[in-house]
Structure 1
Amino acid sequence: MPDAYERHLVPVLFRPFAADLAARAAASRPRTVLELAAGTGALTSALLAAVPTATVVASDLNEAMVAAGSEREPRARWRQADAQALPFTDGGFDLVVCQFGVMFFPDRPAAFREVRRVLTPRGRFVFSSWGPLASHGFDAAFQSALEEAMPDGAPTFLRDVPHGYTDKAVVAADLAAAGLTLTTAEEITLQGRAESAASVALGFLTGTPVSAAVQARDDAHALRAAVMRGMTDRLGPGPVTAPMTATVYTAHRGA
């Protein structure tokens, strides 16, 4: 899964936002940075380039992602870590960042309390979450193709999880429950560029939890081909471009 995620999804969906998030992180000139849900290191590399003097600790719950990330970006210190029970001392970081990971935390206020605990008194928490599914050209096209190919019950993972944490008021309330104060919430739209729609579809089919539902079927091979065709029909053949909307949040420790 990490290989497919890195090959087909990271360059298209995550790297454009990583450059933006790293620039925001660098504005405060942090000395110690903790990244949550680092995946294979797209944001990690951007952080190291934007803040070359900072110590960057990259963490992820998934051991396979940590292994892949540490091989790809050895300049960071990598740790396997649950965001809801971080293995770090109090007040050890002046910046915590998370790119498109908070949506996966089962108990977001609990994870945010851990963020507050490991932040210095003047520390910042900068993170991003995707907008509604319809605001993401690639994800919406994939979900439509998947539902067309699986009319008997397509997985709703994309709608429910990556695109399921879009209400700014809910985010602010979750942060407040953890003792964090929301400072800014900025919606941004960037363009994703892929070598083909089929490549992105393959990434979703083999590099995300959708893969389990597809692989369990007897017609898995034909189903994958149908979804790749369906996504190509929607976005076009050859290199494709689509808009992607997300919200970038900044929070700080409350009193």
Structure 2
Amino acid sequence: MADATTHRGGDTPAHSFLTAGPRAAGPALARLTAAVWADGLATAEAAPAAAVLVRALERLPEHLLGRALVLLGLLAEADGPGAPDAYREVRKGLGACLRLLERSRGDDPLVHALLYVVSHFPEDRERILDRVDALGLAADVSSRIRRCLRPLAGADAVIGRVWPSPAEWDLTDAEREQDRQWVAGLGPARLAAAYDGDTRMLLGYAGALAHWAVRHGTPRQVHDARAPRPSPYPSPAGPAAWSRHAAVLRCPCCGGRPSPAADGHATCAACSTRYPAGHGILDLTAPVEADADPADVLRNAATLASVGHYYETVLRPGFLRLMGGNWSGAVTPADEDAYIAAHTRPADGPVLDLAAGAGRWTGMLAEAVGVRRLIALDLNPSMLRRLRGAVPEAAAVRADALSLPFDDGSLGAVNCWNALQAMPDPAAVVAEAARCLRPLGTLTLMTFRAADDPVDRYFQRSFRGPGFPDGMPLGDLSDITAWVTDAGLDLLDASTPGNFVMITARRPG
């Protein structure tokens, strides 16, 4: 096989990278990456370049070694015609990687890059784990590599409860039984696809962590002291919370007014459609057949009774690190709180927490504008029940963000925090929010933009969400601001710490 350092006279991206000094390492890696890899596909130059990097691994200086390892990990999981040869060349470096691990400490940023590479070789599982176990890794890191290396073992596989690491999911026996029943109905092909999707998500998280660590140092964890803790749901309540907003609510079937009924339901005065209102949640979703893919692992995870707790304590923090590039904790929950408090300036009328989830931001809004003004809306009933435990006095409505059950110009403000990226049509969601705003009412939102770095963008897309089996697409800042201005709102602020996008807009007076 041709040596990429001598091919074309020795002046190749691989040669330039191997001879780059500390200041030139980043640009040299970018040129090499572009030559051998493009958005998950290996080029014809991938295998020769991988061979060169593997031969040099144990003599590379520190400023190059971590970067080279991340690229080798990308090539090990790449697709395309050149991928099999690239995989074989990277695997030849397994011995060197294990020797480097032997000389490393568990908190060394280089360890994350080494673990990312070796996580691609389940056929060498025992050999790898013998070395990894000696490092004394944290439980989240150790459980992630073990799951990446574990082959699929039939219907006993855990699906959809492993990201960002299996150790962070402490499921009850009842929850595990729910999963077993779901997995048993998938069939071999769907099970294999779902298991592979989970593996790719874990590799994406490990790769993003490694890519950040070799450039910036060991990441740190940021914990949200306000995250709801497990607690019993409040007892079923009467309709008082949502009925105080009956003047702005409308029936999804005809546009009439839902009003409380004696049996605990709500009934539309115009078309007599009945809507459940159990647990204090007004459910305005139409009774339609579910059309979700039965192999959609995150949609299945959303049915977990404790999903609100796991969302706040496991999924959301990991999501902010992966999507926002928030590995250093530069954007804290307190920063998010402060933005909402400073920028929510409602006109008269109710304040909507759109896609409210488990109520983290509903609680923040309750402090900012008063709980009696709030309407928390989400499509997930498990999330809303958790929300009622966190903010029991807030009105809770189950409805679709793409067809909000409110009159035109009826809401004083709308908050949509960390949700647009998961919507099938985010521009339409913004337009719906704008339709419902009163003049001078504000829209505050937080979402994420596609990273500037192509490797970071690739890792962002490793996350699979409901409706996004090939990865969650993210827009550029210009796309996100266009959703706002095209909806007829005035853009007041667009803050972009990391890959976060925090926006305030206002409906003209």
TM-score (norm 2): 0.32
Pairing partner for 1:248 from 483, 486, 502 = 502
Deviates more, 1:61-70 or 1:12-21: 12-21
Give 2:312's aligned residue. Answer: 6
1:82 pairs with 2:391: no
Task: Note the C-alpha offset of 1:91.
Answer: 1.5
What is the CA–CA distance in structure 2 between the aligned matches of 1:156 and 1:16, rounded to whole Å?
Answer: 25
For residues 29-84 of structure 1, the C-alpha deviation after alignment (integer angstroms, 9 at most, x for no partner) is 76521011111011111111122376011111212111111122112111112111
**Are the equivalent residues in 2 in contact too, given 1:70–1:76 (CA < 8 A)?**
yes
Task: Note the C-alpha offset of 1:187.
Answer: 1.6
What are the within-5 Å matches in structure 2 for residues 28-67 of structure 1? Answer: 32-52=350-370, 55-67=373-385
What is the CA–CA distance in structure 1 between the aligned matches of 2:317 and 2:348, rounded to whole Å?
Answer: 26
Q: Which has the higher strand share?
A: 1
Identify if the C-alpha distance between structure 1 residues 173 and 7 changes in structure 2 by more than 3 Å, giving closer, same or farther. closer
Identify if the C-alpha distance between structure 1 residues 122 and 26 changes in structure 2 by more than 3 Å, giving closer, same or farther. closer
Q: What is the DSSP-based 3-state SS (H/G/I as helix, E as strand, rest coil) of the residue aligned with 1:157? A: coil
What is the CA–CA distance in structure 2 between the aligned matches of 1:54 and 1:10, rounded to whole Å?
Answer: 27
Give 2:476's aligned residue. Answer: 167
Pairing partner for 1:176 from 463, 485, 490 = 485
**Are the equivalent residues in 2 in contact too, given 1:172–1:181 (CA < 8 A)?**
no
Question: If you compute each CA radius of gyration, which structure gives the higher value, 1 or 2?
Answer: 2
Q: What is the DSSP-based 3-state SS (H/G/I as helix, E as strand, rest coil) of the residue aligned with 2:393? A: coil
Q: What is the DSSP-based 3-state SS (H/G/I as helix, E as strand, rest coil) of the residue aligned with 1:39? A: coil
For residues 89-131 of structure 1, the C-alpha deviation after alignment (integer angstroms, 9 at most, x for no partner) is 2212111111111111211222122111110022111101124
Aligned partner letter, 1:2: G
Q: What is the DSSP-based 3-state SS (H/G/I as helix, E as strand, rest coil) of the residue aligned with 2:403? A: coil
Aligned partner letter, 2:314: H
1:16 pairs with 2:325: no
Bigger relative contact order (CA 8 A; separation at least 6): 1
Instruction: Provide the aligned C-alpha RMSD in A.
Output: 3.1
**Are the equivalent residues in 2 in contact too, given 1:90–1:117 (CA < 8 A)?**
yes
Identify if the C-alpha distance between structure 1 residues 177 and 131 changes in structure 2 by more than 3 Å, giving closer, same or farther. closer
Task: Note the C-alpha offset of 1:188.
Answer: 2.9
Aligned partner letter, 1:64: S
**Residue-pair matches, total:** 183
**Are the equivalent residues in 2 in contact too, given 1:186–1:248 (CA < 8 A)?**
yes
What is the CA–CA distance in structure 2 between the aligned matches of 1:125 and 1:102, rounded to whole Å?
Answer: 13
What is the CA–CA distance in structure 1 between the aligned matches of 2:391 and 2:494, rounded to whole Å?
Answer: 29
Give 1:238's aligned residue. Answer: none
What is the CA–CA distance in structure 2 between the aligned matches of 1:71 and 1:249, rounded to whole Å?
Answer: 29
Q: What is the DSSP-based 3-state SS (H/G/I as helix, E as strand, rest coil) of the residue aligned with 2:497? A: strand
What are the within-5 Å matches in structure 2 for residues 192-207 of structure 1? Answer: none
Aligned partner letter, 1:71: G
Aligned partner letter, 2:506: H
TM-score (norm 1): 0.61
Q: What is the DSSP-based 3-state SS (H/G/I as helix, E as strand, rest coil) of the residue aligned with 2:374? A: strand
Aligned partner letter, 2:490: T
Give 1:207's aligned residue. Answer: none
**Are the equivalent residues in 2 in contact too, given 1:129–1:166 (CA < 8 A)?**
no
1:69 pairs with 2:383: no
**Are the equivalent residues in 2 in contact too, given 1:33–1:93 (CA < 8 A)?**
yes
Task: Note the C-alpha offset of 1:155.
Answer: 4.7
What is the CA–CA distance in structure 1 between the aligned matches of 2:317 and 2:484, rounded to whole Å?
Answer: 30
What is the CA–CA distance in structure 2 between the aligned matches of 1:69 and 1:116, rounded to whole Å?
Answer: 24
Q: What is the DSSP-based 3-state SS (H/G/I as helix, E as strand, rest coil) of the residue aligned with 1:91? A: coil
**Are the equivalent residues in 2 in contact too, given 1:132–1:166 (CA < 8 A)?**
yes
Task: Note the C-alpha offset of 1:177.
Answer: 3.0
1:106 pairs with 2:442: no
Pairing partner for 1:157 from 464, 472, 477 = 464
Structure 2, unmatched stretches of 5+, are: 1-306, 321-331
Q: What is the DSSP-based 3-state SS (H/G/I as helix, E as strand, rest coil) of the residue aligned with 2:377? A: strand
Give 2:496's aligned residue. Answer: 187
Pairing partner for 1:127 from 439, 445, 449 = 445
What is the CA–CA distance in structure 1 between the aligned matches of 2:345 and 2:409, rounded to whole Å?
Answer: 20
**Are the equivalent residues in 1 in contact too, given 2:366–2:374 (CA < 8 A)?**
yes
Q: Percent same amino acid at aligned positions?
A: 28
**Are the equivalent residues in 1 in contact too, given 2:345–2:442 (CA < 8 A)?**
no
**Are the equivalent residues in 2 in contact too, given 1:35–1:44 (CA < 8 A)?**
yes
